Amino acid sequence: MDMESGQVVKSLAGRDKGKLYLIIGFVEGDRVFLADGRCRTVNNPKKKNLKHLQPYRCVIPEIKERIRQGNLNDNMVRNILNNLLSAENAQDYPRCLRISSSDGC
């Protein structure tokens, strides 16, 4: 599955294993910029290798548009991830949080 800006991903490796992020940009090669709105802000995103991420089907259109316009803020990222995380913890998975089929994961 190809990843895109505004997509929800889960970290599979590193100290942040299991943490949800939003993809906010791409770097040369197989790396992306990730933000969670708390530790990794929009202004200080985490750079992570694609093979260390589990993509979800969730692509948030409003986030994608704000990334394109350049006016994404940490509060929006936090709110979206908190809503998705609370649904995941309640075992009431939204359709978009079901793991997509990807190679090797």
Q: Is there a domain that residue 65 lies in?
A: yes
- Residue 82: give the domain boundaries: 7-97
Indicate the pLDDT class of residue 12, thresholds 50, 70 and 90: very high
Q: Is there a domain that residue 75 lies in?
A: yes
Q: Is there a domain that residue 104 lies in?
A: no
Q: Is there a domain that residue 58 lies in?
A: yes
The 10s digit of each residue's pLDDT in 42-101 is 999 999 999 999 998 888 888 889 989 989 999 999 998 888 877 666 555 555 655 554
Q: Is there a domain that residue 12 lies in?
A: yes
Q: Are 84 and 58 in contact (CB under 8 A)?
A: yes
What pLDDT, on the 0 to 100 scale, is given for residue 103? Answer: 39
Return d(Cα 70, Cα 66) in angstroms, integer: 6
> How many domains, in total, are found in the chain?
1
- CATH number of the domain that residue 77 is part of: 2.30.30
Angle between the N-to-C axes of helices 61-69 and 74-89, in degrees from 0 to 180, rounded to the nearest 10: 160
The 10s digit of each residue's pLDDT in 14-25 is 999 999 999 999
Whole-Å CA distances, 60 to 14, 18, 24, 29, 63: 25, 20, 11, 24, 5
Q: Is there a domain that residue 81 lies in?
A: yes
